[in-house]
Amino acid sequence: MMSPRQSLLANAAVLLALLAPAARGAGPAAPLYPGTVPDSHAGDVTVRVYLSHDAPAKVTAWYAKRVGALTAADGNTLWNADSADTLSGRPLGAVDVDATVERVGRVTMDQSTVVRALKDMTMTKDIGVFCEFMVRKPAQAEQSGSSGQSANGESGGAGSQQLEQMRQQLAEANRQLLASVSPEDRKIGRMSDLFEGLREEVAGEQHGHTKQDLIAVYEKYKHLETAWYPTVKTADGLESYDRWLLARDKARLNAKRQKAAAPTVAASADMSALAARIQAAAAAGRMDEVRALGARMRGAMATQQGASNRAKAVVLADHWDYWLAFLKDLDAHAYRTRIWINTAPASWGY
């Protein structure tokens, strides 16, 4: 026979066991990974988004110990079913031809459980946790397969001979093109738009920056192409920080160039107006006016030349450090893994 103390403890244990499922259902669908940064503009009432500097393997291993192994099947199920706009705020790398987005997740509450919890048949969605990360695709082979076989290695039949001939012609054209392009140029050509500004500096050949300089910078910052960034709220909607920063810095540089070019444009307009007046005065035989306007024209030409030289100096200035600062800023906001965690259905307001 149990003592009063033992009986009290046993009853408490039963009560806790009964309440445990409800408590689990009332909280987030999964625990928050340590050290994450919330992406405050991403997600919605049903899901929260977080960013982590840690490698995907470390993050997924941590969740595997707490909610079970994360799988691609669950990750894609959760991503497709989530009511949040999962395409908003996607970084450049997520749509880059050299990177692919991989998702792994764990369903912690299936659709039927969600429906029963909300008593709403329209809320048929799994909830849980899933992680996104980007993986760089291996470089495509520079040489095609052996001739006389189709791309999948099978001999082509009569109906595919024409296609096989076209494939061989394209492969030969590709070989010739690759032979004419240096390995450096191929590497530079595969760089994303994040390195567009530095590419232009090298292409301009104005300030001594070489292809080797650009490749060295790329090796230091190429991880930015497969990173996740906080989401920025703009007048046009949600954007990833890398897209927003690139657009902002390009706009700032263009505005600086346009400001420098404005006096040249104004001087050119003055010269056009003076030329029209000189032509009209000459046609009317007002030679004194022609001479006076001619003197003004020479002054306008000198002004225009000075403005043009100043504008040229701004446009052709060395912007290498400007774009290095852009990459440094971007690096400070780059994360390796993005984590989505559903909130408790009871908090959705349905």
For the cut 80, the answer to whether the pLDDT of residue 2 exceeds it is no
For the cut 70, the answer to whether the pLDDT of residue 316 exceeds it is no
291 vs 189: CA distance, rounded Å: 56
The pLDDT value recorded for residue 138 is 73
183 vs 189: CA distance, rounded Å: 10
Distance of CA 126 to the CA centre of its chain: 28
Structure tokens at 137: 């695709």
Instruction: Return mean pLDDT, the chain.
Output: 79
Least confident range from 28-32, 61-65, 170-174: namely: 170-174
For residues 158-164, average pLDDT: 65
The pLDDT value recorded for residue 193 is 92
The pLDDT value recorded for residue 70 is 97
Structure tokens at 309: 């030289």
For the cut 50, the answer to whether the pLDDT of residue 11 exceeds it is no
| Model confidence pLDDT, tens digit, residues 239-296 | 999 999 999 999 998 887 777 665 666 667 666 776 777 777 678 778 777 677 667 7
339 vs 133: CA distance, rounded Å: 9
13 vs 32: CA distance, rounded Å: 27
The pLDDT value recorded for residue 35 is 96
What is the CB-side half-sphere exposure of residue 271 using CA atoms within 13 A? 15
Distance of CA 110 to the CA centre of its chain: 32
Q: Find residue 318's DSSP bridge partners.
A: none
Token pair 């110990």 is at which residue?
65
343 vs 84: CA distance, rounded Å: 12
3-state secondary structure of 340: strand
Burial class (CB in 10 A: 0-12, 13-18, 19+), 303: middle
Q: Is the CB of residue 106 less than 8 Å from the CB of residue 61?
A: no
